Amino acid sequence: MISKYKPVLAPKRIQKTNGEMIAAADAFHKAMVDRRTIRDYKDDPVAADVIKQCIKTAGMAPSGANHQPWHFVAISNPDLKRQIREAAEKEEEQFYAGGAGDEWISALEPIGTGPSKPHLTTAPWLIVVFAERYGVREDGSHYKNYYVPESVGIATGMLLTALHMAGLSTLTHTPNPMAFLTEICGQPRSNKPTMIITVGHQADSAEIPEIALKKKPLEGVLTLME
């Protein structure tokens, strides 16, 4: 069997001293400290080129077998945003009316969320993230994708980071169920919607829940085994 593996040299990296690495990591941490989920937006426009560049960064994420099983649909069309809001709020009304269960609703109380989602039409962009459950060849046959949730999760995290570093605010929204997004976004059955990311500039009066400031300390999320 002839191997398909064809190695090329890895991109060059400049090796930093420990001090330089700590400084770089600290600078990035400080840049990310004020990243918060925002629910109140201005309707100020954001250039499509900004969104495209951030999604381009997300596309650099590692993935199982390098299949890159993600697809992003970026929407600024007001009518499509309205359709998404109407469908999402319909699902959210059922969710908050009891479909979620008492424990889940209780967990959400400190966040202050409800079925109304005005940000879906106010913000200039919605990015719908799709997971490609399987690939489709030109002849219509299917091939398997690997570690799809993990790969899409990494790419989504890189997208949120890129958007924040570009100076934008975001909100991740996961209406349940969200099959309506497949039809509205014109996606094939192979693509499963995973979330809506609202993107734009936060309103001057934007507020966040106090609980959002409470993050686990490093010792609560790290086990160091030297």
Taken in order of first residue, the domains within the chain and their CATH numbers are 37-203 (3.40.109.10)
* pLDDT band per the 50, 70, 90 thresholds, residue 1: low
In whole angstroms, what is the distance from residue 115 CA to residue 92 CA? 5
Average pLDDT over residues 187-193: 96
CB within 8 Å of 39: residues ≥ 6 apart? 113, 119, 171, 206
Mean pLDDT, the chain, rounded, equals 95
Encoding tokens for residue 160?
């949120």
Average pLDDT over residues 50-66: 98
DSSP conformational letter for 42 = -
